[in-house]
Structure 1
């Protein structure tokens, strides 16, 4: 079951590092999109987003502060959906076809689907730190009999 849980966490977050890489490779286009936000500080938002997209998936997959990482990534997904996929601003977003409004509608919903998966990580993540998780699920060493009998206390006195 542990392997299935790890694969599930990996599948849930695999797109984020690629999204961060895409922002780096296509920096000018990413900055242009970030500047479309009603918030200021497009460059700072972009740098923060890239850090979040690279760091939090690693934390989630390795269960190292997974709850905090999943919460940060969930907030990031909500903010991204609301700020950058305002489908309601496009007339006929539900009319189907290959319209800009329809694309934003589906991206908005996908972000909230990710939020749901990330919140499942929050409620279902083991409370073990990553180092304990790894040793807890490691293959145990083969049993070997004790080489010597336990030592007895040879001290004297009260």
Structure 2
């Protein structure tokens, strides 16, 4: 296996997965009043404390994931953050006509499901184990992932 297989491709994938979070944390700091108003719109108390914790999570966990320092714990924490944020702050179902072109709920609909897409990607970091080498994927781009070879389907019972 090459450096590309072992380091470059997994590192690039992790950076792509988490690159938006430090920028989101920065945006919350720069636009504190707007971020605090959004945090206060949810059902939880202490919005300023929650906002500071959110900024900390969005700043630290991507670094943990990218450099591989407690990356699974960081990915688990960030996945939880994304799931909770989706459920508490992107309640698209509360907006009438959320599918309409100008409906406010439409943006919340997409943010809700984008957050759960991130949850899925982050949970793959948590449970992922080893990566398929990039060269193997390049040679067989449409094959199943490396876990598929390890799963043995039970044999069907013989018919009498």
TM-score bracket, normalised by the shorter chain, equals 0.7 to 0.9
Match of residue 93 from structure 1: 98
Residue 26, structure 1, aligned to residue 31, structure 2: yes
Match of residue 130 from structure 1: none
1:28-107 correspondence runs (5 A)? 28-95=33-100, 97-107=101-111
Q: Give unmatched runs, 5+ long, in structure 2.
A: 131-160
Work out the CA distance in 1 between the residues paired with 2:70 and 2:126.
10
Structure with greater Cα Rg: 1
Work out the CA distance in 2 between the residues paired with 1:100 and 1:67.
35
Match of residue 156 from structure 1: none
Work out the CA distance in 2 between the residues paired with 1:32 and 1:125.
40
Aligned-residue offset at 1:108? 0.2
Work out the CA distance in 2 between the residues paired with 1:16 and 1:64.
17
SS in 2 for 1:39: coil
TM-score normalised per structure 1: 0.77
Work out the CA distance in 1 between the residues paired with 2:129 and 2:86.
25
Match of residue 134 from structure 2: none
Work out the CA distance in 2 between the residues paired with 1:3 and 1:109.
29
Aligned-residue offset at 1:5? 0.6
SS in 1 for 2:57: helix
Change (3 A) 1:102 1:56: same
Work out the CA distance in 1 between the residues paired with 2:102 and 2:19.
26
Q: How many residues are treated as equivalent by the alignment?
A: 125
Q: Which runs of 4+ in 1 moved over 6 A?
A: none
Q: Give unmatched runs, 5+ long, in structure 1.
A: 127-158
Residue 121, structure 1, aligned to residue 120, structure 2: no
Match of residue 151 from structure 2: none
Aligned-residue offset at 1:45? 0.2
Aligned-residue offset at 1:125? 4.6
RMSD: 1.0
Contact 1:67 1:125 in 2 (8 A): no
